[in-house]
Amino acid sequence: MSLKICVAQLNYCVGDMPGNAEKIIAAARSAYADGARLLLTPELAICGYAAEDLFLRPSFIQACDDAVNRVARELAGLKGLTVVVGTPTQGDNGKGLRTKSVEVQQRHNAARVLREGRIIESYAKRELPNYQVFDERRYFAPGQGTCVFQAEDEAGSAISIGLLICEDAWFEEPARLARDAGAELLVVINASPFHVGKGDEREQMMRSRVLATGLPLIYAHLVGGQDEIVFEGRSFALQADGVLAGRAESFKENLFVAQAERSLSAINLIADTAPERSAEADLWDALVLGVRDYLGKNGFPGAILGLSGGIDSALVLAIAVDALGADKVRTVMMPSPYTADISWIDAREMAGRMKVRYDEISIVPEFEAFKASLAGEFKGLKEDTTEENIQARIRGVFLMALSNKFGSIVLTTGNKSEMATGYCTLYGDMAGGFAVIKDLLKTTVFRLARWRNEHDPYGTGRKPIPERIITRPPSAELRPDQTDQDSLPPYEVLDAILARYMENDEGVDGIVAAGFDRAIVVRVASLIRINEYKRRQAPVGIRVTHRSFGKDWRYPITSKFRA
């Protein structure tokens, strides 16, 4: 027997149940015409992942049910086709308990197995993640059952398929129960957020699962951006001995096909394998996809950003043009009394290379007007960060005014190192709608800028970033001869401490024991703590590490604890 299996690795949109259903129907018809008799959609494909508190609305669950029923009706005439659709469902015990003070969930993160117009099986996810960006126990109750169903090839020969949903496959029991119930092949439908290195982690974990059960496995994943989260696709198939049978491309929609062939009593999988990729290529594509989908799915006509002549805004511009095209990106240089000539020269040069609209609006008149208005209040006091922040806030006002007038969203340009230490201005450079590089440490910003100058993945031009932008010392240019290192440790030191303290929860003593200066470590930890109030007011940004300042960072603003 030979069963062709298709994974609908597609870009689903949260809340667009009619559109998602249409994608599934079109994929099923295309796969069926190509000989596939089993179609797998990702976890919660019918509604998109993650719908957050929309799951609490009964009308949302009903709309999902309606969309699944539509898929079943539309595909009823495709004889012998089995379709697995990820969807939320209402539990068998009703709607649970919900009052103003108590809530007990009864809905499930589930999958419906459809064939010829009918729902032939249902399965509810057993293992519900509640860490990092996941909140599934807020919305769902765990399932208790096992799902094994038959899928037939074009000749009518059947394979027993064991169905798992994402986190189920990270634990031993669900896969073992499926095998014990007669499964010959495991299929896992997923919505697993991207971070650098996550693809290899998934394959290694699934490899341990197939080695434990002795069963081959197909991993079905989605692709696309959803607010701060990105899904990279990279669906794959593993043989029963753990050897990679095939892998879909990353960050692209794909109907990934795996052929399941029975030889004697064993199932062998045959599929194409996309090439291995570098961490930088993954990181770039994640940022590009995150920007493209955030603007596209929310209906913004384009983007605007302040181009300073520095490395951060240069990188954001390159990402934005790769994501949206030069015609949808506008840049504004806003020089102050402290802007170096090389800054506007380099900003003009980069805008020309990227072929984007470029304007210069001086903030000097507004800055002088603010100082004059406040002269009486500030009499006898030296200029300090107050005047620096006024400059940043004038720029924020200009950018937001242009955004309001023309509809384009402001992309902020702050990086993770700045967000961690508070080296940013509320209502100034933090003002905007989407923080593109919010989860990139400054050292990663430099590394990625050099990578982009050496590669042109979207055909928008090699070497978009002038070399001097990369090599000159970083500066906010808010006072004479200023550099970032006037206020912060060298970025190589700072970022290494941030990776340990913020991303991996190491304590001060442990970091010092690793060779870092205690005074610097204590200062960095203090800066992280006292700037939580700023981060709470920052725009959402793309998550690309395993610990970002977003859903997976939930620290109190008010706290006396010292790590």
Active site (catalytic) residues: 43, 125, 166
Prior bond of 375 cis (ω within 30°): no
Q: How many CA atoms lie within 13 A of 381 on its CB side?
A: 12
59 class by beta-carbon count within 10 Å (0-12 exposed, 13-18 middle, 19+ buried): exposed
265 class by beta-carbon count within 10 Å (0-12 exposed, 13-18 middle, 19+ buried): exposed
Pairwise CA distance, residues 328 & 200, whole Å? 35
| Token output for 249 | 């491309």
DSSP 192-207: ----TTHHHHHHHHHH
DSSP 8-68: EE----TT-HHHHHHHHHHHHHHHHHTT--EEE--TTTTT-S--GGGGG-HHHHHHHHHHH
Rg (CA), the chain: 26
DSSP letter assigned to residue 184: S
Closest CA to 321 of 227, 460, 462: 460
| Token output for 370 | 């603010």
CA–chain centroid gap for 362, Å, is 36
- Give the 3-state secondary structure of residue 136: helix
- Give the 3-state secondary structure of residue 518: helix
Q: Are 206 and 171 within 8 A, CB to CB?
A: no
Closest CA to 186 of 116, 240, 262: 240
DSSP letter assigned to residue 500: I
Per residue in 217-244, is it b (16+ CB within 10 Å) or e — as a string? bbbbbbbbbbbbbbbbbbbbbbbbebee
Unique residue bearing structure tokens 């090439």: 275
Q: Are 335 and 362 within 8 A, CB to CB?
A: yes
| CA 211-215-221 angle, 5° bins | 95
Torsion angle of alpha carbons 66, 67, 70, 74, nearest 10°?
Answer: 180
β-bridge partners, 273: 247
Q: Are 488 and 462 within 8 A, CB to CB?
A: no
β-bridge partners, 115: 82, 118
